[in-house]
Amino acid sequence: MPEALVGAIVKDARVPFTVPAFPGETFYGVLSRIAHALDEKTRTMAAELDVRNPGLRLGPGMYPEVLWPVKKSHPSLLVPPTSIVTTTERTFVIRVKDGAVEWVTVTRGAPAGDLVEVFGLLKEGDVIVRRGSDELREGTRVNAVAAKT
């Protein structure tokens, strides 16, 4: 599991997952064991699910895509992935405040459908640029227009 989720993981949780061999089908397991040590290269922690496998449809070596259920002490802020800008120095989103551009440093969290969770000095209601770019410099005056949904 990604490092960002480790502190919020729920032991004995029912965990949904999919495998490419069975597109569109969701399987479930129960989180039973956690490694309690991060892999330094991937920044992930091994976890094991106990999975019922009637008919032996799931086999060794299949690679699951897991949706980890986590408890959070605060609500998540979600942004489109195109709002997140990564440079060699930092990862940020562009907030428009009082008609001016601000770069707000963020850390990526878990994907949530078409959005990505972010952690940083943002709050609900902030105006975020949908297609961020480091070419839009801090302090630039802009006229924000609401995105069409």
Are 51 and 24 part of one and the same domain? yes
Segment 113-136, tens digit of pLDDT: 789 989 889 998 999 999 999 999
Are 39 and 80 part of one and the same domain? no
pTM of the model: 0.56
Among 66, 82, 116, residue at a domain's last position: 66
Please tell me the total count of domains within the chain.
Answer: 2
- Domain range for 13 is 3-66
Are 87 and 125 part of one and the same domain? yes
Segment 29-66, tens digit of pLDDT: 999 998 889 989 888 889 899 999 989 999 999 999 98
Band of residue 73 on the pLDDT scale cut at 50, 70, 90:
low
Are 81 and 128 part of one and the same domain? yes
**What burial letters (b/e) apply to 20-53, b meaning 16+ CB within 10 Å?**
eeeeeeebebebeeeeeeeeeeeeebebebeeee
